[in-house]
Structure 1
């Protein structure tokens, strides 16, 4: 039987690669679902990760920008439901993924990590003990698939987890711990440059989570904090950070920007000399890098007063950082 992986971000691709390796799976199809707001950087990074291993088939959806992907989705669903699968893995539970899962014959369905979203899924959205309401507009979109004979009900109790997080089962679901076997093969014999720290950027002001002036004020303070320790910062922009001209005067010999063609985890694997530490606000990469590499991981704490929304979700992420021995750097410390 075949195994199917459905991914829509670079880290989901890494999770798929690790599941394929750890579980020694053969006859694997990977489906990349691209969204209109991804940007070309997302596509490039995902394709670079696909190259790291053999896949029996790679299917890409959403390469062309269209107002509606309805007919493209139907075509892919009809193609994929012809087969029977031993395992199906997905890093997202959107409308397309849920309808696809509803129409597949498979022994097991696994959620792949999509960063700290996994914690939210397990706690609420995929928790069968919590009832969730479907908006009327979504019901109408789902109805279109029912009218052509596709199943649309997805049973959340079928979801198991392949995850780097220490989750507790609610109802007997299988939780497989991601040991990062593939990535850790390549971490031996690396040295550390104690004069350099990577800062992983996030599109926080672009997504209006924080104000622009707040984001750059934090970066200035973080820069001063590390300069006092005789360390330079290499800022790694998020793939959705497009306008780097806004960094202006912050860029100098102690703060440089380097855009990566792949995920930061894969980039670190390619280096012989690692930075002394990896710092960010609450990037998912802090979790994975902390488990893969023997270097410091530091989360800069964003007080709720600076956040325009999602205060509880971000606070939960910082709580998980503490559980994973990731250092929390508070504003008063910088």
Structure 2
């Protein structure tokens, strides 16, 4: 079976992780298999992943069955048995380090190293909070916020894993934050693209209310705050809202009712910018990873991140969110605090 004799094995479940995996395939140039997980319900993320797979022209993909929770667990168990008995590779790449099954499957393959692919804001948080301190998945599980029985279950599960720090294949700059002997397979940086610019501000949307990080009304107020801020700072530029793939139709209707222009993009923003003839002069957003990826690849008049962290202090993701804002500040992105509402 192909899965048992390739040099590199990948596990991904989002467009960003998949794009990172394809860059790693080009970088390492070894025989590869990419296991990808779609959501149980067809989503925009799924369509983007399928489109990326089709356009890649590669024949190295294997879908992990996720039609229901029980089928997902059964398919992972089958892979686990196969890997434990036969699998061996040079490297195993994980897209979502927080995915329990991805770590079990990666650990069941006899390999020389485990490599973490890009996974947006969580990559920054994991590197700062755990990897830079010599801690891996075992510590991560034990630090998950849980009470009572669930906390004890997490501790028992943690015993199944070692605490080895994974290497990285990331576009983020972690100079000074790597653990001893941790490798960062730095991608070749793209030459900054200048191209033609229009007088526009692209606000890159985030699924903050959909993910229950903010409530619906809060997020709308914050979006209006960014619009007013940018229009006061750049009166000759047109403010345009670029939705996240998970933005609800209800949110987009409300944004439109506020007189905000909306530009829907059906591919990952990085792919769109690569092929676009004209680009905006300014990009901004809350803490979306796209602010960093676009800032690394293109020349903009300004890149601004609006800080909402003071308004979500009780959220379970607050440590991760604060780590992202801190990282952005140290890497040349202007961070503007949003006033309390």
Into which bin does the TM-score normalised by the smaller protein fall?
Answer: 0.7 to 0.9
2:203 and 2:81 map into 1 onto residues whose CA distance is 43
1:327 aligns with 2:334: yes
Flag the 1:155–1:326 CA change in 2: closer, same or farther, 3 A: same
Identify the residue that residue 205 of structure 1 maps to in structure 2.
209
Report the CA distance between 1:219 and its aligned residue: 1.4
Counterpart-to-counterpart distance in 2, 1:80 and 1:44: 29
Counterpart CA distance in 1 for 2:95 and 2:210 is: 24
Listed one character per residue, the Cα deviations across residues 267-291 of structure 1 (whole Å, up to 9, x for unaligned) are 1112011111221100011111111
Partner SS, residue 101 of structure 1: helix
CA contact under 8 A between 1:198 and 1:279: conserved in structure 2? yes
The CA RMSD measured in Å over matched residues stands at 2.8
Number of residue pairs matched? Answer: 315
Unaligned runs of 5+ in 2: 1-5, 145-150
Structure 1 equivalent of residue 187 of structure 2: 178
The partner residue of 1:31 within 10, 30, 35 is 35
Partners of 1:49 and 1:71 lie apart in 2 by: 27
Residues 6 and 176 of structure 1, relative CA distance in 2, 3 Å threshold: same
Paired position in structure 1 for 2:245: 239
Q: Deviations over 1:185-231 (max 9, x none)?
A: 7x75721112x222111111222212222211121122223334222
Q: TM-score, normalised by structure 2?
A: 0.81
Asked if the contact 2:193/2:297 (under 8 Å) is kept, the reply is no
Q: Distance in 1 between matches of 2:112 and 2:277?
A: 41
Deviation track 1:292-318 (CA, whole Å, cap 9, x = no partner) reads 112232101214135441333322211
Q: Which deviates more, 279-288 or 257-266?
A: 257-266
Question: Which residue in 2 is equivalent to 1:69?
Answer: 72
Partner Cα distance (1:255, 1:98) in 2: 43
Change in 2 beyond 3 A, CA 1:247/1:101: closer
Matched residue SS, 1:26: coil
1:87 aligns with 91
Between Structure 1 and Structure 2, which shows a larger proportion of helix residues?
A: 2
Q: What is the aligned partner in structure 2 of residue 146 from structure 1?
A: none
Whether the 8 Å CA contact 2:7–2:31 is kept in 1: the answer is: yes
